[in-house]
Structures are given as structure tokens and as C-alpha cells.
Structure 1
Amino acid sequence: MKILVLGIGNLLFGDEGIGVHFIKYMGEKYTFEGEHQLDIVDGGTLAQRLIPIIVEYDRLIIVDTINAPGVQAGEVYFFDFDAVPDAVDWQGSAHEVEMLQTLNMMDLAGDRPPTMIIGVVPTIIEATEFSLSEGVSDAVPVMEMTLLNHLKTIGINAVKKQDVDIQAILPNSFRALDAYSV
């Protein structure tokens, strides 16, 4: 089985880049072993251009920001795309809406693999802000444990290589393995 962990986000807009920062963080902190192939990829804001990549996988895990009105920044959600919580309204950033449309288009064609979402509610969404808010930065350990626990249930174990600070990742996240490198 082939599993794709796809970090989505715009690095130029503060918290909105958490998906990309997070996958870079996980890739530097862990190696992954198991009976299945796991690829960790920066999908940036490519949305529909990711379809040819996504269809090659048996399972998809997307890491991104989500919009949930009235919820504190840094709140983490983990859900099956087929059972989106009522609190999530998909009315956040442009890339968030485009990714929703991409997944829906894949559904129409019958090409979307089973999809899980790890989403965090952002605070900072401002142009040219290369940082993460305290709420989102503090959410990283919850996101990390959520992903590691889920991967374990599907036969993939993480082996820690080194300690990594999410703040140290920020200046170089643009160098993550992106979808064009797959």
C-alpha cells in the first residue's frame, strides 16, 4: 500500500503555511518504517495540479489549516474527509477552498483515495509573515502525536532521528520535497 502525507499551505501567509512546515518538521525528526510505502510531500497551494500525484496512492493524509468559526486558534482536528465535523466550514483561505474542490472533483471521477485530514485553526494569515502564531506552534505536538498514532494503526512506525524545533524549520520550509519532485 502507498500512503501520501501531503502538507498543504502558503508559506508566505504565516499560519497558513503550517501544513508545509509540519511535513518538513516530521521528515527531519523521523524516519518511517513498516510494511507500506510512505511519502511525505509539500503540496503547497497546487490543489488541482496535485491530482496526478494523489491518484497514485492508496491512502491520503492531508495536513493543512481549517476554518472553524468560534474555535480557538491552535485547535487541532483529525477527521475522515467522508465525515467532516459540523464545526468545519471550509470558508478559510483560497487554497483551502481549492483543495476542497480538488478532493470533490476526485470524488466525482472516483479517483480519491481514502482521505484523512489533520487540520489546525490558524491565527496569522497575513502576507509575507514567515512565522507561526503561538497557538499554532503550540499545536504541533498534538498534530505530531495524531499523525504518529494514525500511522501506527496502518502499520507504519516512526523512528526518531533527532530533536527538531518547529521554529527552526520555518526559514527553510521552502526547501521541502515538493510535489514536482515526486
Structure 2
Amino acid sequence: MKKILLLGIGNVLYADEGVGVHFVNYIKDKYQFTHPDKQLDIIDGGTLAQGLIPIICQYDHLIVVDTVNSVGVGPGEVYFFDFDQAPAEIDWQGSAHEVEMLQTLNMMDMVGDRPQTFVLGVTPTVIEPMVLGLTDALQHAIPTMEKALLAQLTSLGFNHHQVANITINHVIPDAYKRGCYDDA
């Protein structure tokens, strides 16, 4: 059975930096996905980076959801790309967890353990300590991110149906209570 991992990365205590975690929890609560011979797991990876290697290497296909920095682009811009063909304007030197996740994926690649990897990223507005939530620019980017993800999963043969009528704001208040090992 082919295994696909949707992995949210970020620190929920730093405003927009938590978008990856909030987004995957939102998708997990809002949709149910089915496929006759593929498995989709949705995990909040927080800021674990290298600690996620034993989990990530079990998958054939990886979709990482995170903030990305991009030269000359405003907040709330959405990117979806193959990790091996990252756009030139993507700057991986943003937050500490972005650099750690990049290093983690590169290390996995060197030993042949990295699955086919895609990145669903959005440029952040505010990265401030002790702010739980997303700015308006990122709130407005969520529908675009959702469409890109659903299109990718549909291209992999997954069916989906909405099981809850929620917005991303429904999952944010409890984000700090959820975690990687609760979902694995």
C-alpha cells in the first residue's frame, strides 16, 4: 500500500509561523479522505524537524505545509511545489524550524530515505512570540492553500468529502494541545 503523509510544520506560539500546524489540523477535522489502495496520514509535526525522520521515512509521498520566505513577495502568497524543483525565489533562511526542516529533508535525501516531497507554503506576516492565531493575510490565504492541497490529493486518486463546516479559527485555540505523536 502506498503511504502519503501530510505534515504540518510550525510553532503555534509565534503567530503566522504556526500556519502549517493549524492548516493540517483544520484539514483533518474538516475532511475525510478515501482511496482504495493508498493511505493518507495527517500529522502535526510542530517544530520537531529531525525528530520526524523515523516517521517521514515510512512514507512514499510527503506534503509539507509550512511558512516559506520568498524574495520580493508580500504576506499571504501561496506556493505549492516539488521540493526537488523549488522556485528560485524561495528563501529557506526564515525561521529556525524552516532551516531545520530543510536540513532534515536534505539529510534524508543523502541517505536515500526521503520520499517524493512537495511543499505547500505561504509567506508569513507576523512572527511574534506568544501570539496564538493568524494574521488577516494568512487567513485569506487558507482557501487557496486548501484548493491546492485538495487538487494534489485528487491527482493522487483520493476522494474527499467534507465532514465538518468549520474555518481554520475553529482549530487554533486548541493547537497547543495537539501533537505529532497523538496522530501517528
TM-score of the superposed pair, with normalisation by structure 2: 0.96
Cα-to-partner distance string for 1:99-131 (whole Å, 9 max, x where unaligned): 000000001101000000000000010000112
Number of residue pairs matched by the alignment: 182
1:181, distance to aligned residue in structure 2 (A): 4.5
SS in 2 for 1:116: strand
* Structure 1: distance between partners of 2:173 and 2:77: 24
SS in 2 for 1:174: helix
Consecutive unaligned residues of structure 1, counting only runs of 5 or more, are none
Q: Which residue of 1 aligns with 2:17?
A: 16
CA 1:102–1:9 in structure 2 vs 1: closer, same or farther (change >3 Å)? same
1:177, distance to aligned residue in structure 2 (A): 4.7
1:133, distance to aligned residue in structure 2 (A): 0.7
Q: Which residue of 1 aligns with 2:175?
A: 173
Q: Which residue of 2 aligns with 1:127?
A: 129
* Equivalences for residues 1-182 of structure 1 within 5 A: 1-35=2-36, 36-179=38-181, 181-182=183-184
* Structure 1: distance between partners of 2:177 and 2:13: 14
User: Once superposed, which parts of structure 1, at least 4 consecutive aligned residues long, lie more than 3 Å away?
Assistant: none
SS in 2 for 1:91: coil
* Structure 1: distance between partners of 2:183 and 2:140: 30
Is the contact made by 2:78 and 2:145 (CA closer than 8 Å) also made in structure 1? yes
Calculate percent identity across the aligned residue pairs.
Answer: 54
Is the contact made by 1:74 and 1:122 (CA closer than 8 Å) also made in structure 2? yes
Consecutive unaligned residues of structure 2, counting only runs of 5 or more, are none
- Partner amino acid, structure 2, of 1:23: V
TM-score of the superposed pair, with normalisation by structure 1: 0.97
